[in-house]
A and B are shown apart, each in its own frame.
Chain A
Amino acid sequence: MRQDWNLLQLCDRFFDAIERGDHETLESCYAPEAVVWHSHDCLYQPRAENLAMLEAGMKRNKKMRFRNRRVHPFEGGFVQQHTLHITTENDFEGKMDVCFVAYVRDGMISRIYEYFDTGQIDRFLGPTSGRG
């Protein structure tokens, strides 16, 4: 049986933790086997590598906010659509529309599929971001 309330709570806990820069809570949301897939390279990123990337982003950027969150729980997971707003260390304010799909096991996220448009990376990180 689906437990929507638990899925919604997990979803909020995860994104609120990133906004607060709360690494401990963020880590507790991931199952030990968690992997993160991105639509731009189709590769599964291991748990530790993804957590390190998120932590670096939380430290580097002055602010990260997930706005216009629209969440749909489904059997075994949830999908959240949001606009990620960041304020970079150079005070650039960027945004990116993201679709975040999570599959959940034992109350923790075990697999993530994340979709966004890398063609808009300059609008997100700034024209001098140096990203290709």
Chain B
Amino acid sequence: MTDSELRALCHRFLDAIERQDFETVADVYHPELRFWVNLTGKELSRDESLSVLREGAGRHRRRTYDDRTINTFDTGFLARYTCTVVTHDGTRTALWACLVARCHEGRIVRMDEYLDSGKFGRPPGSTGG
């Protein structure tokens, strides 16, 4: 995949999650997808990841992936971003995260996401580990 194709795929994926468009997310996921998150150290399959996204959709009013910085390499992309979540009571929380994805034939085959659970529940702008 070219640099442009990888960048487009990254935006398509993150935009789809923002819109809660899980049909597009499913289309972006390769059938053999493995999704690893540092918080648990465990890998999810394609179906497990889609279930987690669908189940979590109602928990927030809005979730956006802002300030995206994307770098592409031969087999995939690195995305760094600010994930901003607005809960139903209007509270905004931001956390800074990154995602390393391996891609094949227009789909994501593997994702490793790095989040900081120490940031959960803190309002944007607050600092300190």
Contacts and interface: CB of A to CB of B under 8 A. Distances in A.
A59 interface: no
Interface in A37-62: 38-43
Contact of A39 (B75, B116, B120): B116
B114 A118 contact: no
Contacts of B98: 39, 99, 101, 113, 115
Given A40-B129, A99-B114, A117 B39 contact: yes
B38 interface: yes
Contacts, number: 86
A103 to B, nearest CB: 9
A40 B118 contact: yes
Contacts of A81: 100, 112
A43 B78 CA distance: 20
Contact of A99 (B74, B76, B112): B112
A119 B117 contact: yes
10 contacts: A40-B118, A41-B128, A74-B72, A75-B71, A75-B72, A79-B78, A97-B41, A101-B78, A115-B38, A132-B129
Contact of B80 (A113, A116, A118, A132): A113
Given A40-B129, A41-B128, A79 B71 contact: yes
Nearest to B102: A72
Contacts of A117: 38-39, 114-118
Contact of B114 (A73, A75, A115): A115
